[in-house]
Amino acid sequence: MQPGYQASMFISNHRLIAAVIFWIAGVISAQAAVMSAVTSDAQGNNYLLDTEGMTRKGYIVYVWQLQNLAKRNEEGVLSIRTQVEFDCRFRQSRVMWVTLYPEADEGGTVISSGLVSNPQWVPAQPGDVTDTLIDYACRRIMR
């Protein structure tokens, strides 16, 4: 065998291995997201939380939330996936990341996605959607 052939074979094998690893990671992460329906609002929007990926440190619960809208909004969005932090002690939440989709259940090509600049804590109001989500998340995973 020629030395150049061995080098190109080495590079090709590493590319194949990298592609397989990324594919496996994608399959595992897709299977890890177990979205559980938690509540809905008066407009018919449904709120789900990723119960398998939920973690907690102290009073803060870290979770992915999916909101399926009852009807498409003015930007053409039908579902919104957010990374949320719930503060179980002070009953507040803040959104850290937002991804917008044109179809329900994160369907279609992503409209936009990104980190929330300067996320602010928003207090939950008794009986509102956020209050219900905080209750669910904080009781689901204990410190």
1 vs 116: CA distance, rounded Å: 54
Higher pLDDT, 23 or 86: 86
Strands 60-68 and 79-87: antiparallel
- Please report, as a single letter, which amino acid is at residue 66: L
Mean pLDDT of all residues belonging to the chain = 86
- For the domain spanning 34-140, the CATH number is 2.40.128.710
Q: Phi and psi (nearest 5°) for 105?
A: 55, 45
Higher pLDDT, 23 or 120: 120
Residue tagged 């928003």 (tokens): 122
Task: Render pLDDT for 61-86 as a digit per residue (tens, 0 to 9).
Answer: 999 999 999 999 999 999 999 999 99
